[in-house]
Amino acid sequence: MAKVPVMSAVVDILKSEGVDIAYGCPGAAILPLYQAMERDGGIEHLIVRHEEGATHMADGWSRTTGGVGVAIGTSGPAGTNMITGLYTAHADSVPILCITGQAASDRLHQEAFQAVDIVEIAKPVTKWAVQVKEAAQAPWIFREAFRVARSGRPGPVLIDLPIDVQKQEIEWDASIDAPLPVTPVAPHPPRVERALDMLLAAERPLLLAGGGVILADASDELVELAELLQIPVQATLMGKGAIDEDHPLYAGMTGIQTSQRYGNASFLEADLVLALGARFGDRHTGQLDVYRGERKFIHVDVEPTQIGKVFGPDLGIVSDTKLFLRALTEAARARGVSGTSGSWAERVRSLKASLVRREDFDDVPIKAPRVYKEINAFYGRDTYFVTAIGLYQIWGGQHQKAPKPRHYQVCGQAGPLGWEIPAAIGVKTALRRTEPDAEVVGIVGDYGFQFLVEELAVAAQYDVPFVLIMINNEYLGLIRMAEDHGGYGMKYEVDIHYDEFGTDNVKIMEAYGCSGRRVLAPGDIRPALEWARKEAGRTSRPVLVEIMIDRESDTANGVRIDRMREYEPVP
């Protein structure tokens, strides 16, 4: 078998695993890998301005394609800068691979320049973190990294490459190599039958679609089962888009913030919940005694240790959600079971029609719900949205419609500020070959916008167009609410001096070679969105629509930050 540079073998593996783009920043300790990427070709590369941005780009690419996104950095602070992105991917079950350079193996114990034990640092926020100690191990470690990232509950992996290992040659023949198999977990048939028994015995059952439905590409199977048995469907924040929100059986979202009033009401009336790939996160459940009540729970999850982590369900099933839904549907058909639109489904539709939040505000300053009304009306079903953390995540959960899976992407658990710009770059570059004309829209706040704003330079450099819609209330709205209404009685360090120092976000865009427009009145929102669409197409660069909203929009539409003992939000 011929000898090849070990990093050429690594590049071969990356390409065979479906990697067509990587996001990163070269440095001395990772240059052999970059040399192989240049020499062997086949992987596009975007040079980032911060390694955290690279991880979020890989994250957005992965959420869009379902593949394993790749971020690359050198040694020392490059790896530590990636930790936030690894944590974000780990929390939301997103498979990404971070590759870091490292000082020479014989210098690691001598406090060499930029030598840090990134493997130990990364272990708590990865499925696997490993350093390649022998060059001959590299191909097999990379193959295993992709298998681990994809298998079970997906998640991130980090591989650390000492510079001396990267420079070696190994025996390798790419023509006889292939990815390691990933076998989906199938459900145990008796548990499927028990789940069906419980569903048929319930008078007011609900299906709860978590992020696991989207990760397993099981949306079609979810809708098929719901329609067969005529069971209403709710979604968690990470499951948003698993079912079209205009579907007659869609029953909203339950929770203390990202929820609908009709969602909370229908959940409280349910007597059984079949949870599919959901973690029972605290913002979804709120007070567990209220959430659990007297209703029964069936919990399906691909990761065994998730079952019973928050509370013990009446029935736990370890399975890939797609395989479980198929098995349950087949079991129902084998029994000759089918549903009709009965009183429970009609009751949910009645709640959905009546317990709605107002959106048709004509006020100046603009109220946030009006922004989402315009977004829903303007953008089509195929638009891809990315959004992060803050009041706008809450408003998005309450008001924004998500008709298709993988088209509403949100960093739900970790919630890092600044995620949207690099994530939008990842989404748009993921679509270049399959949907080159797809619209990508990032919804941001004025504070989070500044955290990774430097990645606009990446989008400008590589002609990556998308639209940013900024909902600007000129201060840290969610933190102010926590201070003011969360029992602290203060308003400390939440003023970011927008007026005094004149932070001009449109000029920030222009400084990066991009465009922007500010909106002050509701009637100007749609014209601004129309302009942004044309401008992004004309320039092939990001475009900002900055919408100045009422500072008190948080209290005007029922958003609450305190620990709610009841699910019914303020009207």
Count of alpha carbons within 13 angstroms of residue 499, beta-carbon side: 4
Q: Is residue 552 helix, strand or coil?
A: coil
Please list the residue range(s) of the chain that carry CATH number 3.40.50.970.
Answer: 3-176, 368-556
Burial of 428 (0-12, 13-18, 19+ CB in 10 A): buried
pLDDT score, position 560: 41
pLDDT score, position 499: 54
Q: What is the pLDDT along the chain (571 residues), one digit of tens a residue?
A: 789 999 999 999 999 999 999 999 999 999 999 999 999 999 999 999 999 999 999 999 999 999 999 999 999 999 999 999 999 999 999 999 999 999 888 887 877 777 799 999 999 999 999 999 999 999 999 999 999 999 999 999 999 999 999 999 999 999 999 999 999 999 999 999 999 999 999 999 999 999 999 999 999 999 999 999 999 999 999 999 999 999 999 999 998 888 888 999 999 999 999 999 999 998 898 889 889 999 999 999 999 999 999 999 999 999 999 999 999 999 999 999 877 778 999 999 999 999 888 889 988 889 999 999 999 999 999 999 999 988 888 899 889 999 999 999 999 888 899 999 999 999 999 999 899 999 999 999 988 899 999 999 999 999 999 999 999 887 666 666 666 666 677 776 666 665 555 678 999 999 999 999 999 999 999 999 999 999 999 999 999 999 998 876 554 444 443 333 334 443 3
Please list the residue range(s) of the chain that carry CATH number 3.40.50.1220.
Answer: 189-354
pLDDT score, position 564: 34
- Would you state the structure tokens that stand for residue 490, as one six-digit string? 């203060």
- Identify whether the C-beta of residue 218 lies closer than 8 Å to the C-beta of residue 322: yes
Can you name the CATH fold of 368-556? Rossmann fold (3.40.50)
| Nearest-angstrom CA–CA distance, 441 and 400 | 13
| Nearest-angstrom CA–CA distance, 16 and 493 | 50
pLDDT score, position 571: 39
Q: What would you report as the CA-atom Rg of the chain, rounded to the nearest whole angstrom?
A: 24
Q: Which CATH number fits domain 3-176: 3.40.50.2300, 3.30.9.10, 3.40.50.970, 2.60.40.10?
A: 3.40.50.970
H/E segment holding residue 145: helix 138-150
- Would you state the structure tokens that stand for residue 201, as one six-digit string? 């015995």
pLDDT score, position 470: 95
| Nearest-angstrom CA–CA distance, 540 and 517 | 16
For the domain spanning 189-354, the CATH number is 3.40.50.1220
459: CB partners within 8 A, 6+ apart: 421, 424, 425, 428, 465, 466, 514, 541, 542
